[in-house]
Structure 1
Amino acid sequence: MRPRRPRPVDIGRGLDAHGGHDALVLAAFVSRAVKEAGAGGVVVAPVHWTPVGILPGLALTAPAVGLAAVAVTGPRLLAAPERALPLRRLRSGHVGDYVAWALVGATLLGALALPGVLGA
């Protein structure tokens, strides 16, 4: 006879139900093994801030903040030129359009990467 699967109500009654003692023994064994293994001799250097690490972040954050400010305060600066109107008409705002454009982009990226993948 197959043992029945515990219902969610049974699981909440504690680990002793349905052979939970074995789970407790296994958890204690794994806990002890992890404590004994330790870091395995790996020495981790302390983390500290350096100018080499901070400057690229600031260099990328400043233009992003500037573009966000322009987008919020001056939408006319970012208005699409007349030559972009046909492309604007292709986007209706429906979810299916976004999925279609995502597939087009993924296909183009795949086509560009294919020669490198094939080793050509």
Structure 2
Amino acid sequence: MELSALRDVRRKVDVFKAETGTRFAARLELKQPDPIDDWSAADATALMNSARRIIKAVHDEHDFGEIHLFFSVPLGAAILLGHGLNSMGIVQAYEEQLTGGYAPSCRLDLR
């Protein structure tokens, strides 16, 4: 799952997949049409609630055992999203690296 709110993460996820040989059963891209430069609490809450509803609907429809989460959002928004993903199984989050690309950051068992 890709969540692009500050900048588009698609290319970096493609690089990660190519470099690591990682394969995913499906790919869900959630993009903010225009990046938000100045986030308010209301922006973060609305966007993360919307993302959570979409992720839950896809998860419930396909019953994935694990969600891989690549995102570009402010830290507070990431925390809100994580809070909303309870009971969705295993969530593997990836952190954007200063050198480019992504690396696994934390793995949560939310069953």
Same-fold call, TM cutoff 0.5: no
More helix per residue: 1
More strand per residue: 2
Higher alpha-carbon Rg: 1
